[in-house]
Amino acid sequence: MIDKTNQEKIEKAVRMILEAVGEDPDRPGLVETPARVARSYGEIFSSLNAPAFDNYKLFPVEETTEMVLIKDIPFYSMCEHHLLPFFGTVHVAYVPDHKRVMGLSKIPRLIDYCAKRPNVQERLTVNIAKELTRILDPKGVAVSISARHMCMEMRGVEKTGSQTESSYYTGTFKTDTALKQEFLQRING
Ligand SMILES: Nc1nc2c(ncn2[C@@H]2O[C@H](COP(=O)(O)OP(=O)(O)OP(=O)(O)O)[C@@H](O)[C@H]2O)c(=O)[nH]1
Ligand SMILES: [Zn+2]
C-alpha cells in the first residue's frame, strides 16, 4: 500500500508524463488515470515498503526427502531500466535440512515478494535463492527463471517472443552434478 502523500506524488508525476507525451490529461478517458496508475504502482511495487518476508510456516518432518521442487510458478516483475514488465515462470527446488520443510504456498508468496519491486532478472533469481536460504537453511537451492521482457519486445530491439533464462545454484546443487542434472531434467521434462 502507498500512503496518501506518495499516492499524490505519483498522480502528479503521471499527469506530467501524460502532458509530456502529448496527451490531454483532462480528457474524460484520462481524468482518473493518474490515480489508477498510483494505485496499481502500490500493488506492482508492494514489497518496497514491506518489512522482511516473514509470512511463512516451517513444519517439522520426521525424515527429510531429497529435492522438493515446485515448477512453473508464474511471476510478474518490472524491469528497473525501463519500468516495463518482465514476466514468466520460476522453478524452485531445495534439499531440506534440519528436518523441516516450508509450507508449499509460501514459496510462490516469497517469489511475489521478491518480484514486486524494480528488478533485473538476474537479481530476482539470486534473491529468491537467498531468501529461501535465510528462511530454511537447506542443503541446497536451485532457482531457474524463464522470462519475456517487454522492454525487448514492444520497443528497442523488438524481439517478440524471445525468452531470457537465468539460474542460480547453491550448496548441493553446486557440488552434486547428478542432483543438478535431475533438477534440469525435471524442469525441462
Ligand atoms: N541483464 C539484464 N539486462 C536487462 C534486464 N532488463 C532489461 N535489461 C537491459 O538493460 C539494458 C539497458 O541498456 P541502455 O543502453 O541503458 O538502455 P536502452 O538505450 O533503452 O537500450 P535498448 O533496450 O537496447 O534500446 C538493455 O540492454 C536492456 O535489454 C534484465 O533483467 N537483466
Ligand atoms: Zn527494460
All domains in the chain, ordered by first residue = 4-44 (1.10.286.10), 58-188 (3.30.1130.10)
Residues with CB under 5 A from ligand 2 (ion): 79, 81-82, 151
Q: How far apart are CA 132 and CA 128, in angstroms?
A: 6
Percentage, residues of the chain above pLDDT 90: 87
Among 80, 84, 151, name the best residue to mutate to test ligand 1's pocket (greatest count of ligand atoms within 8 A of Cβ).
151
In single-letter form, the type of residue at position 151 comes to C
Residue 156 has pLDDT above 90, yes or no: yes
Residue 163 CB partners (closer than 8 Å, separation 6+): 88, 146, 147, 148
CA atoms within 13 A on the CB side of 133: 17
Q: How confident is the model at residue 176 (pLDDT cuts 50, 70, 90)?
A: very high
Task: Write out the three cell numbers for 16.
Answer: 506530467
From first CA to last CA, the distance across the chain in angstroms is 39
Taking the CA atoms of the chain, what radius of gyration do you get in angstroms? 20
Cell numbers 496499481 correspond to: 40
Helix axes 33-44, 4-20, angle to 10 degrees: 120
- Residue listed under C-alpha cell 505519483: 10
Q: Which is the closest atom of ligand 1 to the Cα of 119? A: 31
Catalytic residue numbers? 79-82, 121, 149, 151
pLDDT at 1 over 80: no
What is the model's pLDDT at position 150?
98
**Spacing, Cα 187 to ligand 2 middle (Å):** 26
Task: Please report how many Cα atoms fall inside a 13 Å half-sphere around the Cα of residue 73, on the Cβ side.
Answer: 22
Q: What is the pLDDT averaged over residues 10-34?
A: 98
CA of residue 78 to ligand 2 center, whole Å: 8
- Read off the C-alpha cell for 154: 514492444
> Environment class of residue 150 by beta-carbon count within 10 Å: exposed (0-12), middle (13-18) or buried (19+)?
middle
Minimal-distance CA residue to ligand 1 atom 27? 152
User: Would you say 114 is a known binding-site residue?
Assistant: no
Q: Which pLDDT does position 111 carry in this prediction?
A: 98
- Number of Cβ within a 10 Å radius of residue 46: 16
CA 120 to ligand 1 centroid distance, Å: 9
The finding on whether 149 has its CB within 6 A of some atom of ligand 1 is yes
Predicted local distance difference test score (pLDDT) of residue 90: 98
Is 59's pLDDT higher than 90?
no
Beta bridge partners of 166: 145
